[in-house]
Amino acid sequence: MKIAIISDTHLGYARFEDDAAEQAESAFLDAAKKSDLILYAGDVFDVKIPRLETMRHAVDMLRKVGTSGVPIYAIHGNHERRSRDMVNPVQLLASTGVLNYIHGSGTVFEKNTERIFIFGMGSVPEDLAATALKTAVGRVEVPSGMLRILMIHQTIKDFSLGGEKDLTMDEISGLPFDLIVNGHIHKTIINHEENVLIPGSTVITQLKEDETAPRGYLVFDTATKKADFVEIPHRKFLYAELKFSLASMEDVRNAAMEKLAELKKLAEGAKKQPIIRIKLFGTLKEGIRPSDLFISADGAFIDNQLNRSKSNADFSLPSTPSGRTGTVTEIAISLLRNKIKDRMKLLDPAILFDKVSNDVEGASEYLKSVGNSS
């Protein structure tokens, strides 16, 4: 049996919306030809409430896969996570019949007498992941005598720089699964020793060095127990860092232009203009301010970090009580969850924040209902 694994398509991603759409479609149509089923490991969309145009494209695209008879099993990612009483966009896709949403549930897939078991858990806040996973898996009967796959969308500490409370392989390997499929991490990782498969994103969204490798998806063969990376046509991302020491304007400008020409050469003949990012750091000659620097770089992002001390160059959001960073909402939820710990049982900060950002009246109704019943 051939299992395709696709993740982090970020449909609707505003900066490179066409890339997100075209590259996801390339991956899915190709995977439909090369596999018996497709696992979709979350961040299908870039936002919790996608535009209707984005939604329609997703339905049309996945329906094409459906006509080839290849089923899709999906979970939500952190970008589309909503509270329990709300509908997330992956659930909505499931309602249209183009995919199966398997958050918190397991299913057996059978083809030509070969059977596999797939259990999915969509993204949960990182500090709750280990507990949530254990609880969710504990609720189902995991069969034996077949390949058992766990599909999640989390940071796994062993494979990515993250916070202290992130999920670890130790916590996962105690569970009854033979293969771990993970989304969330945008870099492709095939680790046969640990039985971990991470396809990486099909589109560039973070502009980090992690995303400079080719974009694509994975095909796992249950006979050989090996996964292959399948590259899809994609826009190239080229990234370079230049370090200076007491440099003049001319030094910086020349080095940047030279690097830019070098990078452009690498992408010669590419169908789509590459995304180029050059990070400048280090120090300038006395009397020159970084803001004086102007480089006309024709389509490239010049990330000017010159004369920044380490502390402000690594500007990041305040950490949560568990020591990790996240989106503003994630941090707020985590702070509030900590504040009300052991004091208010009925208030779920995630629901409150979802309601505040989507429906203010609903938020006050929610607060009233929590107040009345406690």
Minimum distance from residue 182 beta carbon to Mn ion (Å): 11
Stretch that binds Mn ion, among 7-15, 121-129, 192-200, 256-264 (CB under 5 A): 7-15
Stretch that binds Mn ion, among 21-29, 39-47, 306-314, 339-347 (CB under 5 A): 39-47
Say whether residue 43 binds Mn ion (CB under 5 A): yes
Candidate list 3, 5, 6, 8; residue touching Mn ion; CB under 5 A: 8
Give me the residue label for tokens 């929610």: 366
Beta bridge partners, 220, equal 3, 227
Minimum distance from residue 11 beta carbon to Mn ion (Å): 11
Tell me how many degrees the CA angle 122-128-132 measures, rounded to the nearest 5: 55
x/- string (CB under 5 A) for Mn ion, residues 176-205?
------------------------------
Dihedral pair phi/psi, residue 276, rounded to 5° = -120, 135
Minimum distance from residue 92 beta carbon to Mn ion (Å): 19
Stretch that binds Mn ion, among 42-50, 113-121, 138-146, 348-356 (CB under 5 A): 42-50
Q: Give the max Cα distance, the chain.
A: 75
Q: With respect to Mn ion, which residue has the nearer C-beta, 41 or 306?
A: 41
Minimum distance from residue 326 beta carbon to Mn ion (Å): 13
> By beta-carbon distance, which residue lies closest to Mn ion?
43
Q: With respect to Mn ion, which residue has the nearer C-beta, 19 or 43?
A: 43
Cα gap 89→40, rounded to integer Å: 14
Minimum distance from residue 79 beta carbon to Mn ion (Å): 6
Rule CB under 5 A: which of 201-220 touch Mn ion? Answer: none
Cα gap 179→119, rounded to integer Å: 11
Rule CB under 5 A: which of 286-305 touch Mn ion? Answer: none
Residue positions counted in the chain: 374
| CA nearest neighbour of 176 among 243, 107, 117 | 117
CA atoms within 13 A on the CB side of 128: 14
Which strands, in side-by-side order, build the sheet including 237-247? 237-247, 275-284, 301-304
Q: Give 3-state DSSP helix, strand, coil % of the chain, rounded to 5.
A: 35, 25, 40
CA 321, 326, 328, 332 dihedral sign is: negative
Stretch that binds Mn ion, among 8-16, 123-131, 162-170, 351-359 (CB under 5 A): 8-16
Stretch that binds Mn ion, among 3-11, 129-137, 306-314, 327-335 (CB under 5 A): 3-11
| DSSP classification of residue 208 | S
Chain positions contacting Mn ion, by CB under 5 A = 8, 43
